[in-house]
Structure 1
Amino acid sequence: MKIAVAREEKNVSGHFGHCEGFMIYELEENKGLNRSFIKNPGHRPGYLPLFLKELNVNVIIVGGMGETAQQLFNENGIEVVVGAKGFCDDVVQKYIQGELKSTGNVCTEHNYE
């Protein structure tokens, strides 16, 4: 399984499309195998869900994301977890332990997605 966390410095980004990049966590049997950082290749409508799908990401974790982006991730078979806050490594651990649930919130204050 691969989990992508939209990152700003070492924390979960509140704005998906304009994050600095993505921490990618590769897991096997809920144990971390690898983690790496991939710089945001640039925000264009509809692009980032496909970009992360090509990296074989299964889950995207973020603070905030628009409705269209959430739909595109779902259409590409990628689980969306919104409403996350804190240090990226801690948030992934919470997800693995089943303690992190999506708030389901849709970011509407910005026209990014």
Structure 2
Amino acid sequence: MKLALPTRQNQIDSHFGHCEYFTVFTVDDSRKEIIGQDLVGSPEGCGCKSNIAAVLAEMGVSLMLAGNMGDGAVNVLNSVGIEVMRGCSGNVREVALSWLSGTLSDSGESCHEHEHGHECHH
């Protein structure tokens, strides 16, 4: 399976729509290890208005491990079959390994600055 993480300098970027790039880890769920890594360029502008969800879905990504993200972006990712876990932070490889070991849980928090007057909602 494949995990995508919005990344800035090898850390989870807390602002999904403006990350430097996405780190995509291919993981072997049964062996609990990372078996591959790709970097996907981040689209210009706001993430929830771009085609990044479709690009990641075409790559086979089924889970996004992210920091904060508005409900609009979550809905876009969910609509292409990508589950979202929010509230992640730290080194992207360590976050992916934490998910594999089962020690990560979704904060369930939306980034509310997206809800009112943010550029995603012109």
Q: State the partner residue of 2:13.
A: 13
Rg (Cα) greater in structure: 2
Q: How many residues are aligned here?
A: 113
Kindly state the Cα deviation for residue 48 of structure 1 after the two structures are TM-superposed: 1.9
CA spacing shift, 1:46–1:2, aligned 2, 3 Å: same
Query: Which stretches of structure 1, 4 residues or more, deviate above 6 A after TM superposition?
Result: none
Kindly state the Cα deviation for residue 85 of structure 1 after the two structures are TM-superposed: 0.7
Spell out, residue by residue over 1:34-90, the C-alpha distance to the aligned partner (whole angstroms, 9 max, x if none): 112222132451522112112110111111111111011112111101110101111
Is 2:57 aligned against 1:53? yes
TM-score w.r.t. the length of structure 1 is 0.91
TM-score w.r.t. the length of structure 2 is 0.85
* Partner of residue 34 from structure 1, selected from 30, 33, 36: 36
CA spacing shift, 1:86–1:112, aligned 2, 3 Å: farther
Q: Quote the RMSD (CA, aligned, Å).
A: 1.5
* Partner of residue 75 from structure 1, selected from 73, 79, 83: 79
Identity of aligned residues (%): 28
Q: Which blocks of at least 5 consecutive residues in structure 2 are unaligned?
A: none
Distance 2:11 2:111 in 1: 18
Q: Which blocks of at least 5 consecutive residues in structure 1 are unaligned?
A: none
